[in-house]
Chains A and B, each alone.
Chain A
Amino acid sequence: MADKKKSLGREFAKGIIVENPVLRLVLGTCPTLAVSTSVVNAIGMGLSAMIVLVCSNIVISCLRKIIPSKVRIPAYIVIIASFVTIVQMIVKAFVPALDSALGVYLPLIVVNCIILGRAEAFAGKNSVIASAVDGLGMGIGFTVALCCMATVREILGAGTFLADAQNLLVLFGENTLGGFNGFTVIKDSSMLKPITILIMAPGGFFTFGILMACANKLAESKGKPKAELKGCEACPMAKNCALIAKGESCSEKEDKEAAKV
């Protein structure tokens, strides 16, 4: 029993640091770059994705012996899309400001590779409880990585921290925490001005690059390999890919074509 608890704990912890989906597995890069302009948006996105991840992991794990492996991917997509629709409706009803802030990125959780990737790599093979714990760990890891990026971008780029916190706190009623609505770190009148480019598109790539370099440095000091975009192996569609079936990968094909030229 104690052994089982320990392994569940490890399943949970690995998603947060050792196998952080964003910084170590390089999954879900699109929402990471897009919604990390403010910490409140990042938390909202992270929590929405976590709910979808946990629920879809549980259902997929329950159905893993019923779903035939040939129609596995479409079945997973239907399950994930249903939960995304539910989350979308809940967010629209209870936190409407967040819905308009996240915009099209909220329904796009469907194609977030973290969720399909975990379904394929973990929930389709493991027990219900382990899958739920894995989903929770991965979801928290995703939220933490998003918040790290958003903190840097919001403080340096907009000069605020947790701005528009009421957008999320509205869940607990009007004017929670005395109407707390974020701090102003850099005042507009001061000598230092916020670096606006950091909350625009280029700043997203730049911050992510620097954060990735830090994560790599940290991993190296612990003797772990660097995070790399694995291309085909990390892709959730890998098993449906015509190239993989032939025992090749995109990068191998690239090399072969280069050799031909």
Chain B
Amino acid sequence: MTVYLQILMTAILTGNFVLCKFLGICPFLGVSKKLNTAVGMSAAVVFVMALATAVTYPINTMLVKNNLEYLQTIVFILVIAALVQLVEIILKKFMPPLYNALGIYLPLITTNCAVLGVVLLNITENYNFAQSMFNSVGAGLGFMLAMVIFSGVRSRLESCDVPKFLQGLPIVLIAASIVSVSFMGFTGIVEGILGL
């Protein structure tokens, strides 16, 4: 059990996808202006990440069995793209409230590097199915944490008197760097809590 907790907490805190691994920067900078859109987007990311991992794990096992590992990139991106489209259609038909909350973000997620990144990282880390699922959900929750924190920072930033040459994107990036510094403070916390 400790292994799973360690994977989960590492993915959320010390190995945060956005702030430590630089995956999923586009939505992090683009959709973090308001709290509710940030939460909607990251909920969709958690959902797609978990689903993509559940689907690609058996596919990868099959590829490895047939010595077709070199097809991983191309197969995974297609599976993720098809999956996202399918989920969108199903949600639209059967769960309209959920579609209204998450649906609009789904097409954007197809080409989100965080989703393909988590699938590929699960393979390079040699995780089994349960470990992969914990890592994916943790990565998604870490993304959500970063988005929520950063949307708070940005709403404060809007009322600040920023020097003219830093206005716009530069100050947003510098704010992200300070949030990232705060995440560096988590170094060693997972081992400390779990007593490893």
A121 within 8 A of B: no
CB pairs A–B below 8 angstroms (24 shown): A29-B26, A30-B23, A30-B25, A74-B81, A77-B78, A77-B111, A81-B78, A103-B124, A108-B117, A110-B73, A110-B77, A110-B116, A111-B116, A112-B113, A197-B181, A204-B177, A209-B172, A209-B174, A212-B170, A216-B165, A216-B168, A226-B167, A241-B107, A257-B36
Interface contact B117-A210, CB-CB below 8 Å: no
Question: Which residues of B are found within 8 Å of A217, using beta-carbon distances?
Answer: 165
Q: Smallest Cβ distance from A190 to chain B, in angstroms?
A: 26
Q: Smallest Cβ distance from B10 to chain A, in angstroms?
A: 15
Interface contact B177-A206, CB-CB below 8 Å: yes
Q: Smallest Cβ distance from B55 to chain A, in angstroms?
A: 17
Known interface pairs A231-B30, A242-B103. Does A254 touch B37 (Cβ–Cβ under 8 Å)?
Answer: yes
**Residues of chain B whose beta carbon lies under 8 Å from any beta carbon of chain A:** 19-26, 29-31, 33-34, 36-37, 70-74, 77-78, 81, 103-104, 107-108, 110-113, 116-117, 120-121, 124, 165-174, 176-178, 180-181, 183-184
CA distance A68 to B121 in the complex (A): 34
CA distance A89 to B22 in the complex (A): 24
Question: Which residues of B are found within 8 Å of A107, using beta-carbon distances?
Answer: 72-73, 116, 120
Interface contact A202-B177, CB-CB below 8 Å: yes
* Total count of chain A residues near the partner, CB < 8 A: 58
Interface contact A216-B170, CB-CB below 8 Å: yes
Interface bits A54-89 vs B (CB < 8 Å: 1, else 0): 000000000000000000011001100110110011
CA distance A56 to B123 in the complex (A): 26
Question: Which residues of A are found within 8 Å of B107, using beta-carbon distances?
Answer: 237, 240-242
Interface bits A218-261 vs B (CB < 8 Å: 1, else 0): 00000000111101000111001111000000110110011000
Within 8 Å by CB of B111, from A85, A111, A208, A227, lies A111
Interface contact B108-A33, CB-CB below 8 Å: no
Interface contact A78-B111, CB-CB below 8 Å: no
CA distance A132 to B166 in the complex (A): 35
A213 within 8 A of B: yes
CA distance A226 to B73 in the complex (A): 36
CA distance A85 to B71 in the complex (A): 8
A177 within 8 A of B: no
Interface contact B169-A201, CB-CB below 8 Å: no
Interface contact A237-B110, CB-CB below 8 Å: yes
Known interface pairs A33-B22, A81-B74, A241-B108. Does A258 touch B34 (Cβ–Cβ under 8 Å)?
Answer: yes
A26 within 8 A of B: yes
A200 within 8 A of B: yes
Question: Which residues of A are found within 8 Å of B19, using beta-carbon distances?
Answer: 201
Interface contact B170-A210, CB-CB below 8 Å: yes
Interface contact A235-B124, CB-CB below 8 Å: no
Q: Name the residue among A73, A205, A206, A254 with the largest chain B CB count within 10 angstroms.
A: A205
Known: A210-B174, A217-B165, A254-B33. 4 other contacts (CB 8 A): A78-B78, A85-B74, A113-B26, A209-B176
Question: Which residues of A are found within 8 Å of B113, using beta-carbon distances?
Answer: 30, 108, 111-112
Interface contact A34-B165, CB-CB below 8 Å: no
Within 8 Å by CB of A213, from B24, B103, B166, lies B166
CA distance A74 to B167 in the complex (A): 37
